[in-house]
Structures are given as structure tokens and as C-alpha cells.
Structure 1
Amino acid sequence: MRGRRARWWVAFGTIAFGAVFLVVGLILAGVSVSFLANAERAQGTVVTLEWRSDSGGSSRKSRGSNEPTAYPVVEFTSKDGTPRTFRGSTGSNPPSYDKGERVEVLYRADSPEDARINGFASLWLLPLIFGGIGLVIGGIGTAVALVGRRRS
């Protein structure tokens, strides 16, 4: 009886943990969809690459990589004619963009400083990561629950 109850709590906890990740992923996807629905489009140019090291976190060191990451700095002109500059939210090494490269920029008309490069990583990477982790962990919890149920 004790093992069955412990297995139930493990399954329940795992499913709940996965559900939290899945909900966060769905919320982030909703934010991206809302952003896309109301976004203005403009052509921009990568004016420079901002190289940053993650000196504060131990996660990069634990992966064995302490190389800097390149974030694109993009300049575009909003609909009102004002030139604007922003740093992309997603960095990579090797860089995803080259200096001088033309990119499509999405921005909110009511707050043009809220701009993103129209690319998969900047719009969908976080929702995909959180949703994927949630599905995997929730699936594991569900499998544990089903196996435990069949054994009893």
C-alpha cells in the first residue's frame, strides 16, 4: 500500500509539474500570436552584433561553454518616420545574423520600442521549449500513473 501511494504522488507531482510548463508555453505562444496580430512591419538592418558573456550564471559553465553570444542590434524606421534601434532578444554563437543583413522587423504601432526580428527564434523558441518540456514531463507522469494503475 505504501509503494502504491508513493507512486501516485510521484505521478501526480510529475503531471502537475509538466502541466505548469505546458501552461507557461501556451501563455508565451499566446503572447507571440497577439504580438503578430497587431504588429506593424518594417525593413531593418543589422547595424552591429553585441557580444555578451553570461558571467553571472552557472548554467553556461556547467555546459562547458563560456563563449560569448552575439545579439543582433537592428535599426529600422517606424511608420511615423522615426529611426529606431533595438537589440534582438535571442543571441547565438555562431551569430544568426551578419552585420549589414536586411531583416524584417515587427513592432507595435503604439510602442515601437517593442520590436522583434520576424524569425522563428525570436517568436517561437521559448513557447516551444516550455511547451515541449511540459509535454514530455507530463507524458512521463501519465505513463507512470497508467503503469501503476495497471499493476494494481
Structure 2
Amino acid sequence: MRFQVRGRGARRWITFGTIAFGGLFLVIGLILAGVSVSFVTGAERARGTVVSLEWRTDQSTGTSRRSRVNNQPMAYPVVEFTPAHGTRRTFRDSAGSNPPAYTAGERVEVLYQADSPEDARINGFVSLWLLPLIFSGIGLTIAGIGTGVAWATRRRS
């Protein structure tokens, strides 16, 4: 597929738009990484147990049938833990997978906020770092392509 953009101004705007779009994704990724870093540094740790797996197709989150190839259900671990100064709590982790990353009865480390133990996550890569990594990676790639095109175009003219 080949298309032609007429005029230098249009090319500059397209290049600028590409860099800005990539920059926006990069900023979102960095904000998400900052939220994860803030959560981890201020979190208390406890041992937890995966009590069950909640299988969901995630239709409620806006995922359409066309956007996921196989539309198979995802397994979300339901974890039970006891905070240092509190009663036993149960939460469903926000990261699901298929095949399941955890099995019922598996011991996991739980991170939670001392002032609000209901805000808890499994101490794992997917739960804490996957989303910031995806957004930052997409942002760097798109902004890098836009910057490379701008640099090559500038050198040519």
C-alpha cells in the first residue's frame, strides 16, 4: 500500500503527531510504573493462599469478541491472606491468564496497604509491571519511529 502526502507541512504534522502519540503512550506507561513503584514501596507484605480461580470472559470490561482471537475465559486467582493487624481478607487479583498462572492451594506473597488492606495485589510481574511495560514499549516504539522519520527527512532536505 502506497500513499502520498503532499507538502512539507503535512509531512511535518504527521511526523509530529506520530511522535506526540508515542510520547503520550510513554507518559502513560511511566505514570503506571510510578503508581506500581509507589504501591510496592509503601506496601506491607503477607503470605497468602490462592483459594480458587475465578474464570471470566471479561465481556464486562469492554473487550469485544473480535479483539481477542480465541475469546477463551481467563483465570483470575482469588487469594486469602491475613494482614498484620487485621482479620482474614479475600481478594481477586486484577491479572488473569489462560492457562492459569496460579493453582488453588498455591502460596503467594501479597502486597497490601496498611491503612486499606482491601487494596491488595499478588507480588508478581504480571500484576505489577506488565501494563506499564506494554504502554512504555508501545510509546517508545512509536515515538522512535516518528523521530527516525523526522531525522531522516530533515537530513534529506
TM-score when scaled to structure 1? 0.95
Gaps of 5+ in 1: none
For 1:62, the equivalent position in structure 2 comes to: 67
Q: After the TM superposition, which of the residue ranges 133-142 and 3-12 deviates more from structure 2?
A: 3-12
For 2:27, the equivalent position in structure 1 comes to: 23
SS where residue 100 of structure 1 aligns? coil
Gaps of 5+ in 2: 1-5
SS where residue 46 of structure 2 aligns? strand
SS where residue 80 of structure 2 aligns? strand
Q: Which amino acid aligns with 1:47?
A: V
Contact 1:18 1:137 in 2 (8 A): yes
Contact 1:54 1:60 in 2 (8 A): no
Query: CA shift at 1:36, angstroms?
Result: 0.9
**CA RMSD of the aligned region, Å?**
1.5
1:145 aligns with 2:147: no
1:32 aligns with 2:16: no
Match of 2:13 among 6, 9, 21: 9
TM-score when scaled to structure 2? 0.92
User: What's the CA shift string for 1:37-71, capped at 9, x where partnerless?
Assistant: 11000000000000001335454533421110000
Equivalent pairs: percent with the same residue?
74
For 1:103, the equivalent position in structure 2 comes to: 108
Aligned pairs, number: 152
